[in-house]
Amino acid sequence: MPDIIREYLPILIPIIILEIALMIYSLSHVLKHDRYKFGSRTMWILIVVFIQIIGPILYLTIGREDE
């Protein structure tokens, strides 16, 4: 393994795990609920999946309707 990868791997693994966990939680929430502050289910699914780390955070902070 190249030295650069070995050097950054301890930093990247937690970030990747966090991204996957946020995406799974956000997608499950989008699919279970019908109401959003704005936008549609399709829009939020695309944002959560294609905008890495920021997409799930956007959904959780401004997209989901208060329960």
Query: What pLDDT, on a 0 to 100 scale, did the predictor assign at position 67?
Result: 64
Query: What pLDDT, on a 0 to 100 scale, did the predictor assign at position 2?
Result: 80
Average pLDDT over residues 14-37: 94
d(CA 1, CA 18): 24
Q: How many domains does the chain have?
A: 1
The DSSP code sequence of 36-47 is BSSS-HHHHHHH
Per-chain mean pLDDT for the chain? 91
Domain that holds residue 57: 3-63
Average pLDDT over residues 37-46: 92
Which 8-state DSSP code applies to residue 34?
-
Q: Is the pLDDT of residue 66 over 80?
A: no
Which one has a higher pLDDT value, 65 or 57?
Answer: 57
Query: What pLDDT, on a 0 to 100 scale, did the predictor assign at position 25?
Result: 95
